[in-house]
A and B are shown apart, each in its own frame.
Chain A
Amino acid sequence: MEEIIQQVVNGLDRGSAYALIALGLTLIFGTLGVVNFAHGALFMIGAFVAVLMSDVLGDIREIGSADDFFKLVQVVEDPTQTDFLGRPLAVETSYWVIWFGESFGNWLSDWAVPIAVLVSIPIMIFIGWAMERGLIRHFYHRPHADQILVTFGLAIVLGDLIRAMYGANPIQTPMPDALNGPVDLGVYLGYEASTITYSAWRIVYFFFSMFIIAGVFAFLQFTTFGMVVRAGMADRETVGLLGIDINRYFTMMFGLAAAVAGVAGVMFAPIQAPSYNLGMEYLVPCFVVVVVGGMGSLGGAVLAGFLLGIVQSFASLPTWKNNLVEWLGLDDSNLIANLIIGVDQIAIYLIAIIILLTRPRGLMGRKGVMED
């Protein structure tokens, strides 16, 4: 039972990352009709905003990170210590510590990632706006294949730009010390201490994504802006005939989607050390999430994100797979046994096939979307 609870929590956590990225993808597709393959790159750029803020706030815990862009640290040669060639060692001290004292300076660098969430919002809105105005809008009336090609190309360019700046190695971007390590979830559920533990930061990530998802839905549901956008998603022409410049609203939605992907990336940085290909790793599963949820359906994207996260999590649990192989009396070298053991690597695609065979428009897809 402990294993099952642990995997459910893991599935919710994994699903929250899928849901956040898929939500942004769906926002863009639902409003602008663009299949944006550069969305994963926005997630990756968000993660690098966390790296940037760690540098700016002088996080000298990043032992080994040689890619110190904008690192606000004072470097002083200390003759009492030597480097690998026996030369005086260059010792780094954060300027924030020098300016504001040790306790506040260290607090800033410790909380660099949460601070980066706030900083990333205007940066990502600007990047989203620039991307939409500079490139994407020229492809609104082009076939989806053209949109996929151009956005995929853009994703490669953005990835390579980051690689040129930060190198190809993943860069550790730690969470605040207070949130590092596990939380004993089991005691809240009546289990003995240390029976069910889970990473504190991942729990924070789950609640953070819930907050963002709820915020996006509330924004679309309860504001005039959101009402216009929803009307535009349903019938763009009629909204235009009412004298509303729907394109302006949709550009802002692109910025909002970029910000959602960006903050998701910032918060993900302590979980998976950011590297330039982070976006590509999440792009494919998130497209599966969007398709399973139903193209253009925000609720579907969130539902499918959590569903596939939980499926993926349970598919990785070896206990039931070993029991099944044993129950079927299969040998280790048997093809079926190997398929069962390795099902975690194809699980979300299998579920996608089953759902699309039974519900071709996905879980909550609407008629007429991408069916022309």
Chain B
Amino acid sequence: MSNNNVTRRGVLKSGTIAGAGLAVPTIFTASAARAYTNEPGAGSVKIGFNVPQTGPYAEEGLDELRAQELAVEHLNGMGDGGMLNTFSEKNLDGTGILGRKVEFVTGDTQTKSDVARASAQQMIEREGVIMVNGGSSSGVAVAVQALCQEAGIIFMAGLTHSNDTTGKDRKANGFRHFFNSYMSGAALAPVLKNAYGDQRRAYHLTADYNWGYTTQEAVQTSTEAMGWETVETVLTPVGAGDFNSYITPVLNSGADVLVLNHYGGDMVNSLTQAIQAGIRDRVVDGTQMEIVVPLYSELMAAGAGQNIQGILGSMNWNWQLEDAGTAAFTKSFGEKYGRPPSNAAHTCYVQTLLYADAVTRAGTFDPCGVAEALEDFEFDGMGNGPTTYRGADHQCFKDVLVVKGKENPSNQYDTLEIVEVTPRAQVEYAPDHPSFGGADATLGECNSGA
């Protein structure tokens, strides 16, 4: 017979005490881990590059990825250092970020908001990234920015040009280096007036999504302010392919300027088809008809070939600028990949360095500390001249380029020429501007995921 005095109450009591005892260190550990989302360990830090690697913007996404890999190399002390040598801040010394080696993972957005969100979510939850960077669409940027806000991660947007990204959809955890539709309109209008006069009649063909709407609004407002009349605005489906049925009505509309608020493959097709339809051969009431493309990219220019010759548009940056930062980045990129970088590549490269610098200045990876370091941060040496990351909406303010398709290209990369560097003062606006969500637009509270 055993002398076992174990009772049910005894087991429960000792179990509770043992459980609590075991749980104490776990609670402390958990508490420490949740200081902010994905706090990195001592050895390395991981960042996520979420770009379109398949789908219609894949070429642009792959160029972003090249630049992002180059940025990581430079942060880790490899290569020639690129823009680290010209950046006005000298906190980054090639030893990673806060002494941690920089690692990265990549995701494919496919230029679809839902896919991009799922990809970013996987990076954050499974890979433990501390920051997400990249993208080639405003729809994607707005979606991923909202996700990063919820998750307590910093989002350094890539190529996104819609006003909404830092307008009505702005978020405390999201930052945009790229310029926007309003800035394009403000930069283009005076150049258009000089080139084509102030008595033009414009016909807009506009991509049917948020980037198209804000770009049309910006160009329409700025050109009407200088005396142009808007004859018609027509929405066209994204990826329509054949735009001819939208282009032929332009011919007899009385308009003498066609504004193509299209991007990527859509712009390549609509521009080519407009030229084939004879838009640029047409004379309306004694005035030569012209085409305007508000947002250019080098890859679009390459796709459109000789059709872009003489056509005006705007850009965030171009490798042909002559400042030291541009030269350093173009050299690094060109020697590694055998081609000049696109402005999408530039913005992603700069965003990665700006994030690393902000972490270093803040002395922490805590997103709220990083956000504070980025807000109203003034810098130079990154290819755009003196630049400010405005605290009120997390939009970068810098000079904007007006470019023109080159008439006599000498090689396959010599597609665009810079017509004017529009000074920053000319493209600035108030944070509560009606085109950016008005007084209701707010960043909200920074979320560190704690």
Docked Cα-Cα span, A107 to B411, in Å, equals 21
Which of A81, A180, A201, A313 has a CB less than 8 Å from the CB of B410? A81
Query: Distance (Å) between the CB of A338 and the closest chain B CB?
Result: 10
Contact B276 A199 (CB under 8 A): yes
Q: Is B59 close to A, CB under 8 A?
A: yes
Q: Is A345 close to B, CB under 8 A?
A: yes
* Chain A 277-296 near chain B by CB (<8 Å), digits 1 or 0: 11001100000000000000
Q: Is B34 close to A, CB under 8 A?
A: no
8 additional A-B pairs beyond A84-B330, A272-B241, A318-B249, beta carbons within 8 Å, are: A9-B248, A64-B304, A84-B319, A85-B331, A167-B58, A168-B54, A197-B282, A272-B242
Docked Cα-Cα span, A13 to B277, in Å, equals 13
* Chain A 2-20 near chain B by CB (<8 Å), digits 1 or 0: 1100110111011001000
Contact A7 B249 (CB under 8 A): yes
Docked Cα-Cα span, A2 to B54, in Å, equals 42
Contact B415 A64 (CB under 8 A): yes
User: What 6 pairs across the A-B complex have the smallest Cβ distances?
Assistant: A64-B302, A182-B278, A168-B58, A172-B305, A316-B245, A199-B276
Contacts of B335 in A (CB 8 A): 85
Which of B56, B241, B306 has a CB less than 8 Å from the CB of A168? B56
Query: Distance (Å) between the CB of B413 and the closest chain A CB?
Result: 6
Within 8 A of B (CB), among A296-341: 312-313, 315-319, 341
Q: Is A170 close to B, CB under 8 A?
A: yes
Q: Is A79 close to B, CB under 8 A?
A: no
Q: Is A153 close to B, CB under 8 A?
A: no
Which of B278, B334, B410 has a CB less than 8 Å from the CB of A89? B410
Docked Cα-Cα span, A142 to B112, in Å, equals 34
* Chain B 409-433 near chain A by CB (<8 Å), digits 1 or 0: 1111111000000000000000000
Contacts of B282 in A (CB 8 A): 194, 197
Contact B249 A319 (CB under 8 A): yes
Please list the residues of chain B having a beta carbon within 8 angstroms of any beta carbon in chain A: 54-59, 62, 208, 232, 234-235, 237, 239, 241-242, 244-246, 248-249, 251-252, 265, 268-269, 272-273, 275-278, 281-283, 299, 301-307, 319, 330-331, 334-335, 339-340, 409-415
Query: Distance (Å) between the CB of B417 and the closest chain A CB?
Result: 13
Contact A7 B305 (CB under 8 A): no
Known: A63-B409, A64-B412, A197-B251. A170 touches B303 (CB 8 A): yes
Contact A66 B281 (CB under 8 A): no
Query: Distance (Å) between the CB of A71 and the closest chain B CB?
Result: 12
Contact B249 A316 (CB under 8 A): yes
Contact B245 A199 (CB under 8 A): no
Which of A180, A273, A318 has a CB less than 8 Å from the CB of B268? A273
Docked Cα-Cα span, A62 to B409, in Å, equals 11
Docked Cα-Cα span, A315 to B235, in Å, equals 12
* Chain A 78-109 near chain B by CB (<8 Å), digits 1 or 0: 00010111000110000000000000000000
Query: Distance (Å) between the CB of A93 and the closest chain B CB?
Result: 13
Contact B278 A65 (CB under 8 A): no
Q: List 24 A-B contacts (CB under 8 A).
A: A7-B245, A63-B411, A63-B412, A64-B304, A65-B305, A85-B330, A167-B59, A170-B303, A171-B303, A172-B304, A180-B276, A181-B281, A194-B282, A194-B283, A195-B252, A197-B278, A199-B273, A199-B276, A199-B277, A201-B276, A202-B244, A271-B273, A273-B272, A273-B304
Contacts of A168 in B (CB 8 A): 54-59, 62
Chain A residue nearest in CB terms to B334: A85
Contact B305 A62 (CB under 8 A): yes
Query: Distance (Å) between the CB of B111 and the closest chain A CB?
Result: 10
Please list the residues of chain A having a beta carbon within 8 angstroms of any beta carbon in chain B: 2-3, 6-7, 9-11, 13-14, 17, 61-66, 81, 83-85, 89-90, 163, 167-172, 174, 180-182, 194-195, 197-199, 201-202, 270-273, 275, 277-278, 281-282, 312-313, 315-319, 341-342, 344-345
Contacts of A9 in B (CB 8 A): 248
Contact A182 B277 (CB under 8 A): yes
Contacts of B330 in A (CB 8 A): 84-85
Contacts of A89 in B (CB 8 A): 410-411
Most buried by B among A169, A182, A270: A169
Contact B244 A14 (CB under 8 A): yes
Docked Cα-Cα span, A2 to B239, in Å, equals 28
Which of B278, B334, B415 has a CB less than 8 Å from the CB of A181? B278
Query: Distance (Å) between the CB of A198 and the closest chain B CB?
Result: 7
Contact B269 A318 (CB under 8 A): no
Docked Cα-Cα span, A6 to B57, in Å, equals 33
Contacts of A197 in B (CB 8 A): 251, 277-278, 281-282
Chain B residue nearest in CB terms to A83: B411
Chain B residue nearest in CB terms to A87: B334
Query: Distance (Å) between the CB of B23 and the closest chain A CB?
Result: 51
Chain B residue nearest in CB terms to A277: B56
Known: A194-B282, A197-B282. A6 touches B251 (CB 8 A): yes
Known: A3-B252, A277-B56. A170 touches B265 (CB 8 A): yes
Contact B278 A199 (CB under 8 A): yes
Docked Cα-Cα span, A341 to B232, in Å, equals 12
Chain A residue nearest in CB terms to B284: A194
Query: Distance (Å) between the CB of A362 and the closest chain B CB?
Result: 24
Chain A residue nearest in CB terms to B246: A316
Contact A66 B302 (CB under 8 A): yes
Query: Distance (Å) between the CB of B141 and the closest chain A CB?
Result: 19
Docked Cα-Cα span, A47 to B403, in Å, equals 31
Contacts of A182 in B (CB 8 A): 276-278, 281
Docked Cα-Cα span, A170 to B266, in Å, equals 10
Contacts of B237 in A (CB 8 A): 344-345
Chain B residue nearest in CB terms to A9: B248
Which of B59, B249, B319 has a CB less than 8 Å from the CB of A169? B59
Contacts of B242 in A (CB 8 A): 14, 17, 271-272
Query: Distance (Å) between the CB of A274 and the closest chain B CB?
Result: 11
Contact B299 A169 (CB under 8 A): yes
Query: Distance (Å) between the CB of B156 and the closest chain A CB?
Result: 24
Contacts of A83 in B (CB 8 A): 411, 413
Most buried by B among A171, A270, A272: A272
Known: A81-B410, A83-B411. A61 touches B306 (CB 8 A): yes
Chain A residue nearest in CB terms to B307: A172
Docked Cα-Cα span, A272 to B55, in Å, equals 17
Known: A273-B269, A273-B303, A341-B235. A312 touches B245 (CB 8 A): yes
Contacts of A315 in B (CB 8 A): 245
Contacts of A272 in B (CB 8 A): 241-242, 269, 272-273
Contacts of A2 in B (CB 8 A): 252
Contacts of A3 in B (CB 8 A): 249, 252
Docked Cα-Cα span, A171 to B303, in Å, equals 6
Contacts of A199 in B (CB 8 A): 244, 273, 276-278
Which of A6, A17, A344 has a CB less than 8 Å from the CB of B248? A6
Contact A10 B339 (CB under 8 A): no
Most buried by A among B248, B272, B276: B248
Query: Distance (Å) between the CB of A289 and the closest chain B CB?
Result: 14
